[in-house]
Each structure stands twice: as structure tokens, then as C-alpha cells.
């Protein structure tokens, strides 16, 4: 049941517990217990809401920053990653394979604010060799959700 | 001027679904639960393969029986899923949907006056296909008390010395009924004893919610007397691609190929390339869609029982078939009033045979959100009817 439960709430964390129990064919109490377990075990790390801020009219600037760093003896990339992810404006930090080491996802109010973060904070870290900042111009799809498109049922309305 | 039409055709009634379709089409704000096809788009990797085939200029006929690669994948699939062995060169024919396979199967097997047993409620095309092929359709009325399964006794009772074919439409549209191994064993015994062929329409084979689907062809001695019909429409959400297949004994498939060759030439080429991808890499898509259908199925059965409507739990396809007998109305009247008063379209059970009277076919090929709104409206309607009766 766990996998199915998680698949459903990954898409819709606000689903009613009674309804969850019905569609999974189990008791509501079992759902509650399983959710608590998942929370305690850190399987469920949080419940968030996806917002298209553009539609609210709130200006936001997002950027993806490639960072090349010198790994530190005994700590590898973890130490430097930690220094970066502690900044609240940083959304996500990934260690990746390929041409650079860390991919940092950043959100700021303005272009200037993001630039300032990169030049003042990120680039000045000892172990950072270089950065390349990519500003996001448009989000088409995020967290598996297509942002622009609305579902439209184009089927014939009654068919055998 | 002379009458341009053939009596045999004119005498066949139009499908009972047409009337509803005409009304619903004029009601933009109606919610329909009347659709007999998946709500999912064809998975992108399958569509992409179709597009790619067009880009590569694969726009010509394929061989009559279908692409060799596709026939081989169908053979692999049936082996993998059901342990059935078919020779892809002689025992598999790619058709324009399962519908074509039903049609040409009847045409190659029936001599005038030979009888075909059709359990109902069931899909609308068996009866006309038999008639057009010169055969005589004989209806077996399935019962709710048997969860709309076909029993060996019902089969025995319907057999005459003219009976040649039994249509086995399971998992069933419109009831959602399935047949399990013990049901199939008994039916197989009768078919062998009475020397009857089976046309097994397994288009919903991937959509079962209990045990894995079993084909009558898996029963000992049955593969040699079974035409197994399946396709891509329901399992892979590919209705518009019009692609299916028939598998069976080489001598029957050979004759079906002949009719197919003269009438159709070959199934659509683009669809065949897409279908190869579906069979190779589509298992996960099917699993996901099946799980989504299953959740909606549980929701609907629960909702109808909460409303106090009698509804057996169906384990196949994407339909439930609740009873409305308590209201003493015909299915048609119920469905018409539901549509007019609450703007929800469902299909009266009678569209699938006279024994569907007193039942409705409700499709759950819709999102849960959509189903919830519809259930709310049906609930209002049911409450109103109960008040009227008091």
C-alpha cells in the first residue's frame, strides 16, 4: 500500500483521508498510521504547494548555477555543498556528474539580487573555482506538472 | 427508382447509444460518464514512435497480415502475459481495431443459418456482425446474481445442433464482469464436448483488478478452437489509432487474411510502428493506468453503495453496472431524466441487450474530480426519485 499511497499524495497532498481509504481499498486508520510512519521515517519530507508566481504578479527570478569546486580532503563535496545549501535563497543543490560539480537552484526577487548572491557569496568561497549562471526565462513543466496546458476532454461524449 | 438498400442491413437497428449521443452533444455543460474509451492520452513514447515513422517516410502499405516486427511482438506479448504460443507467420493477423477482427472472423466461419451464441449485456457489434455474415445470433441473457458471468449451464441450455461459435466477451463491456479459471474450465469442457468454436474478445485483458486475466485459449484443448481478439485501444489508450489483432488456428487466420486483404489491404502503417513500441516498452504505462482505473473503480462502487443502489463489484474493464430496479423505471427513462434534470449522461443497460433493462453503464474513464461532481448530481437525482415515490 505504501508505494501507491505515496504516488497519490506526491501528486495531491491535500486529498481527503476518507477518500484515500476508499480508493486504496483499506481502512482510514491504516492510512493515518502509514502516513505517520512515513513522516517519522523521513520518507515524507514535507507537504508543499506548487505556485505559479507569474500569475500572482509577484516578480521572481530563478536561476540555475553551475559551480566547479575543489573537493576538500576528507570531506569531498559535502562540506562545500553544506555551505551553499544553508543560504535560504537556495532552493536545491545537487552534486552531479559531467562538466561541473554542483548545480545550485536559486530564487531571488530581482536579477540584481541573484547576481549579487553569485558574485558576493558563491564565487568568493575558497573552494569555488568557477560559476556559470543560467537565468530561467520560462517554466514549461515543473514537478511533473505542465504549467500552461489545461486538460480538455476532446473525446466524443457517448461511445459504445 | 428502385430501393437502393439491402433488407438485411436496413433491418438491423441503430445502436441505442445514438439517441443519447445526439442529446448530449447539444448540452455543453453536461457531464458525461458515457464514454467507452480511456481518458488518458496515448503515452508519449508511443506517439513519438508514430511521429518518427512518419518522419522517416514510412507511409506505405505494410504486408497484408501486418508488420513482421509487430506480429513477433504480439507473439512475445501473449507468451509473456498468458503463456500462449502463436506462430507469428501463420497464426496472427493485425487488424483495424478488434472490431475488424470480430467482423471478418464471423464472415470466414459462418455458413448461412449457423448459430452464434452471444452472451448479453455485451458490446454492440457482435449481433450485427453475425447477421451480416449470414449467421443467426442467439442471445444468452446473463444474470446479476451470477455477477454477469457466463455459466456452463446457461451455455448448455442455449446450444442447438446449429451452434457453431460462442462469443466470449470478457472482461466485459458494459458490466465489468470477468471470468476466472474455474468459470473458463467449465465453459471449455462444454465447448469441447459440443464441438463449438470460441471467439474470445479480450480487448480489456489488461484491465482486471483481481487476478491476472486468463484467456479461454489457455484451457487445455481450447487454443485450437479459439479466435483470440485483442488490440491496443484500451490497454495503451490508443483508440484512435485503430489497431487490433486476431490470433488463432492457421486455417482460420489464413481465410481471415484473405478477407482482410480484399477489404482493407492492411492496418494503418503509422499505428503499427507505434504499436511495436507499445508492446516493447509499454508495460509500465499499462500498470499506471490500471492502478488509476482501480482507484476510480473502488471510489464509484463505494459511492453507489453509499447511495443505497445495488451494485455488484466488477473486476474488469472500466465500467460499473449498478441496478436502478428499485425505482420501477426503465433504464432509458432513468438515463433520460438524469440527463435532463442533472445533466449527467450515462448509458442505459438496454443499449447492450434487452437483459440490460434495470441497469446503467457508468464509465470510469474519467478523472476522480470529474467522477465526484457526477456522483454528487446522481445523488441529488436519486434522492429526488425516492421522495417522489413516497
B130 with B237, same domain: the answer is: yes
Nearest CA in chain B to A154: B39
Report chain B residues whose CB lies below 8 A from the CB of A19: 299
B214 with B306, same domain: the answer is: no
Torsion angle in degrees (nearest 10) through CA of B295, B300, B305, B307: 140
Q: Which is it for strands B163-168 and B197-201: parallel, antiparallel or unpaired?
A: parallel
B202 with B303, same domain: the answer is: no
Contacts across the A-B interface (CB distance below 8 Å): 54
B180 with B132, same domain: the answer is: yes
Say if the Cβ atoms of A158 and B37 lie within 8 Å.
no
Say if the Cβ atoms of A157 and B299 lie within 8 Å.
no
Tell me, yes or no, if A153 comes closer than 8 A to chain B by beta carbon.
yes
Nearest CA in chain A to B20: A158
Provide the pLDDT for residue B253: 98
Q: How confident is the model at residue A142 (pLDDT cuts 50, 70, 90)?
A: confident
Provide the pLDDT for residue A1: 87
CATH class of A53-138: alpha beta
| Residue B327 in domain | yes
Nearest Cβ partner of A158 from B32, B296, B302? Answer: B32
Residues 6+ apart with CB under 8 A from B325: B310, B358
| Residue B102 in domain | yes
Report chain B residues whose CB lies below 8 A from the CB of A151: 367
d(CA B168, CA B152): 12
Say if the Cβ atoms of A160 and B173 lie within 8 Å.
yes
Grid coordinates in use for B239?
Answer: 483508440
Q: Is the peptide bond before B89 cis (omega within 30 degrees of 0)?
A: no
Total domains present in chain B: 2
Say if the Cβ atoms of A160 and B25 lie within 8 Å.
no
Answer for the pair B178, B213: CB distance below 8 angstroms, yes or no: yes
Give residue B192's domain range: 45-280
The overall pTM is greater than 0.90:
yes
d(CA A105, CA A89): 9
What integer is the mean pLDDT of A44-54? Answer: 89
Q: How confident is the model at residue A152 (pLDDT cuts 50, 70, 90)?
A: confident
How far is the alpha carbon of B362 from chain A, nearest alpha carbon, in Å? 11
In chain A, what are the domain boundaries? 2-40, 53-138
Say if the Cβ atoms of B368 and A23 lie within 8 Å.
yes
B66 with B165, same domain: the answer is: yes
d(CA B150, CA B153): 8
Say if the Cβ atoms of B24 and A158 lie within 8 Å.
yes
Provide the pLDDT for residue B22: 87
Tell me, yes or no, if A1 comes closer than 8 A to chain B by beta carbon.
no
Nearest CA in chain A to B16: A160
Question: How remote is the C-alpha of B55 from its chain's centroid?
Answer: 33
Provide the pLDDT for residue B21: 86
Nearest CA in chain A to B295: A23
Provide the pLDDT for residue A149: 74
d(CA B78, CA B81): 5
Nearest CA in chain A to B22: A158
Tell me, yes or no, if A157 comes closer than 8 A to chain B by beta carbon.
yes
**CATH classification at residue B32:** 3.90.1150.10
d(CA B140, CA B355): 9
Provide the pLDDT for residue B349: 97
Nearest Cβ partner of B36 from A22, A25, A160? Answer: A160
10-residue averages of pLDDT along chain B (390 residues): 96 86 88 95 98 98 98 98 98 98 98 98 97 98 97 98 98 98 98 98 98 97 98 98 98 98 98 98 97 97 95 97 96 96 96 97 96 97 93
What is the per-residue DSSP string for B265-323? Answer: SSS-HHHHHHHHHHHHH-HHHHHHHHHHHHHHHHHHHHHHHHTT-------BTTEE--B
Grid coordinates in use for B74?
Answer: 504480439
B272 with B291, same domain: the answer is: no
Last residue of a domain, one of B280, B306, B339: B280
Report chain B residues whose CB lies below 8 A from the CB of A4: 291
Say if the Cβ atoms of A159 and B299 lie within 8 Å.
no
Report chain B residues whose CB lies below 8 A from the CB of A8: 295
Percent of chain A topping pLDDT 70: 100
Last residue of a domain, one of B249, B280, B311: B280
How far is the alpha carbon of B382 from chain A, nearest alpha carbon, in Å? 21
d(CA B119, CA B104): 19
Torsion angle in degrees (nearest 10) through CA of A61, A62, A67, A73: 110
Nearest to B186 by CA among B165, B148, B155: B155
B217 with B305, same domain: the answer is: no
B272 with B334, same domain: the answer is: no
Half-sphere exposure of residue B213: CA atoms within 13 angstroms, side-chain side: 30
B236 with B329, same domain: the answer is: no
Say if the Cβ atoms of A159 and B35 lie within 8 Å.
yes
Tell me, yes or no, if A158 comes closer than 8 A to chain B by beta carbon.
yes
- Look at chain A and count its residues: 160
Tell me, yes or no, if A25 comes closer than 8 A to chain B by beta carbon.
yes
Buried b (16+ CB within 10 A) or exposed e, B102-115: bbbbbbbbbeeebb
Report chain A residues whose CB lies below 8 A from the CB of B172: none
Q: Give residue-wise pLDDT tens across range A6-47.
A: 999 998 999 999 999 999 999 999 999 999 999 999 999 999
Nearest Cβ partner of A160 from B123, B295, B302? Answer: B123
Secondary structure E strands in chain B: 31-32, 92-95, 115-120, 136-141, 163-168, 197-201, 226-231, 244-247, 319-320, 344-345, 347-348, 360-363
B79 with B170, same domain: the answer is: yes
How far is the alpha carbon of B296 from chain A, nearest alpha carbon, in Å? 6
Say if the Cβ atoms of B15 and A156 lie within 8 Å.
no
H/E segment holding residue A131: strand A128-135
Residues 6+ apart with CB under 8 A from A96: A102, A103
Buried b (16+ CB within 10 A) or exposed e, B122-136: bbbbbbbbbbbbebb
| Residue B390 in domain | no
Residues 6+ apart with CB under 8 A from B152: B186, B187, B189, B190
β-partners of residue B118 are: B139
Interface test with A, best of B19, B34, B204, B332 (most A CBs within 10 A): B34
B139 with B167, same domain: the answer is: yes
Nearest Cβ partner of B15 from A22, A25, A160? Answer: A160
d(CA A39, CA B281): 34
Answer for the pair B216, B196: CB distance below 8 angstroms, yes or no: no
Interface test with B, best of A9, A155, A158, A159 (most B CBs within 10 A): A158
Tell me, yes or no, if A154 comes closer than 8 A to chain B by beta carbon.
no
Which value does ipTM take for this structure?
Answer: 0.86
Q: Give residue-wise pLDDT tens across range A81-137.
A: 999 999 999 999 999 999 999 999 999 889 999 999 999 999 999 899 999 999 999
Say if the Cβ atoms of B302 and A22 lie within 8 Å.
yes
Report chain A residues whose CB lies below 8 A from the CB of B41: none
Last residue of a domain, one of B230, B264, B280: B280
Amino acid at each position: 500500500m505504501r508505494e501507491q499511497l505515496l504516488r497519490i499524495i506526491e501528486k495531491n497532498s491535500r486529498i481527503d483521508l476518507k477518500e484515500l481509504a476508499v480508493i486504496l481499498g483499506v481502512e482510514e486508520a491504516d492510512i493515518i498510521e502509514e502516513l505517520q510512519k512515513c513522516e517519522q521515517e523521513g520518507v515524507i519530507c514535507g507537504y508543499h504547494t506548487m505556485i505559479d508566481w507569474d500569475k500572482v504578479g509577484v516578480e521572481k527570478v530563478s536561476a540555475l548555477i553551475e559551480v566547479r569546486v575543489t573537493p576538500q580532503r576528507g570531506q569531498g563535496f559535502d562540506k562545500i555543498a553544506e555551505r551553499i545549501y544553508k543560504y535560504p535563497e537556495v532552493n536545491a543543490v545537487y552534486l552531479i556528474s559531467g562538466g561541473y560539480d554542483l548545480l545550485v537552484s536559486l530564487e531571488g526577487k530581482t536579477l540584481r539580487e541573484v547576481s549579487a548572491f553569485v558574485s558576493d557569496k558563491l564565487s568568493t568561497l575558497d573552494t569555488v573555482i568557477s560559476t556559470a549562471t543560467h537565468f530561467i526565462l520560462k517554466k514549461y513543466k515543473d514537478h511533473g506538472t505542465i504549467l500552461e496546458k489545461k486538460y480538455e476532454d476532446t473525446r466524443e461524449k457517448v461511445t459504445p | 427508382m428502385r430501393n437502393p438498400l439491402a433488407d438485411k442491413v436496413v433491418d438491423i437497428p441503430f445502436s441505442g447509444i445514438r439517441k443519447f449521443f445526439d442529446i448530449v452533444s447539444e448540452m455543453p455543460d453536461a457531464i458525461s460518464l458515457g464514454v467507452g474509451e480511456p481518458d488518458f492520452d496515448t503515452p508519449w513514447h508511443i506517439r513519438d514512435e508514430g511521429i518518427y515513422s512518419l518522419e522517416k517516410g514510412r507511409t506505405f502499405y505494410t504486408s497484408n497480415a501486418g508488420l513482421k516486427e509487430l506480429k513477433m511482438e504480439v507473439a512475445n506479448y501473449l507468451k509473456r502475459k498468458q503463456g500462449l504460443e502463436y506462430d507469428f507467420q501463420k497464426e496472427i493477423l493485425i487488424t483495424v481495431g478488434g472490431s475488424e477482427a470480430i467482423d471478418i472472423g464471423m464472415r470466414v466461419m459462418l455458413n448461412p443459418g449457423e448459430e452464434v451464441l452471444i452472451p448479453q449485456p455485451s458490446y454492440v457489434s457482435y449481433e450485427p456482425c453475425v447477421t451480416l455474415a449470414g449467421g443467426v445470433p442467439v442471445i444468452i441473457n446473463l444474470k446479476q446474481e451470477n455477477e454477469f458471468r457466463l455459466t456452463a449451464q446457461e451455455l448448455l441450455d442455449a446450444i442447438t445442433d446449429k451452434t457453431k461459435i460462442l462469443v466470449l466477451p470478457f472482461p466485459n463491456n458494459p458490466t465489468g464482469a470477468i471470468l476466472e479459471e474455474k468459470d473458463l474450465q467449465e465453459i471449455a469442457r462444454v465447448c469441447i464436448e459440443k464441438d463449438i468454436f470460441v471467439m474470445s474478445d479480450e480487448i480489456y485483458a489488461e484491465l482486471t483488478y483481481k487476478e491476472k486475466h486468463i484467456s479461454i485459449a489457455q484451457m487445455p484443448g481450447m487454443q485450437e478452437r479459439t479466435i483470440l481478439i485483442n488490440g491496443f485501444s484500451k490497454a495503451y489508450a490508443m483508440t484512435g489509432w485503430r489497431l487490433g489483432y486476431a490470433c488463432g488456428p492457421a486455417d482460420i487466420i489464413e481465410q481471415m487474411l484473405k478477407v482482410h486483404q480484399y477489404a482493407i489491404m492492411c492496418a494503418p502503417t503509422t499505428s503499427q510502428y507505434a504499436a511495436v513500441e507499445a508492446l516493447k516498452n509499454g508495460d509500465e504505462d499499462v500498470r499506471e493506468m490500471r492502478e488509476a482505473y482501480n482507484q476510480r473503480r473502488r471510489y464509484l462502487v463505494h459511492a453507489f453503495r453509499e447511495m443505497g443502489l445495488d451494485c455488484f463489484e466488477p473486476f474488469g474493464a472500466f465500467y460499473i453496472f449498478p441496478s436502478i430496479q428499485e425505482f420501477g423505471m426503465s433504464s432509458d427513462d432513468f438515463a433520460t431524466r438524469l440527463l435532463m434534470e442533472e445533466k449527467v449522461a450515462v448509458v442505459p443497460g438496454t443499449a447492450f441487450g434487452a437483459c440490460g433493462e434495470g441497469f446503467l453503464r457508468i464509465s470510469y474513464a474519467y478523472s476522480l474530480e470529474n467522477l465526484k461532481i457526477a456522483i454528487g448530481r446522481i445523488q441529488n437525482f436519486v434522492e429526488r426519485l425516492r421522495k417522489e415515490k413516497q
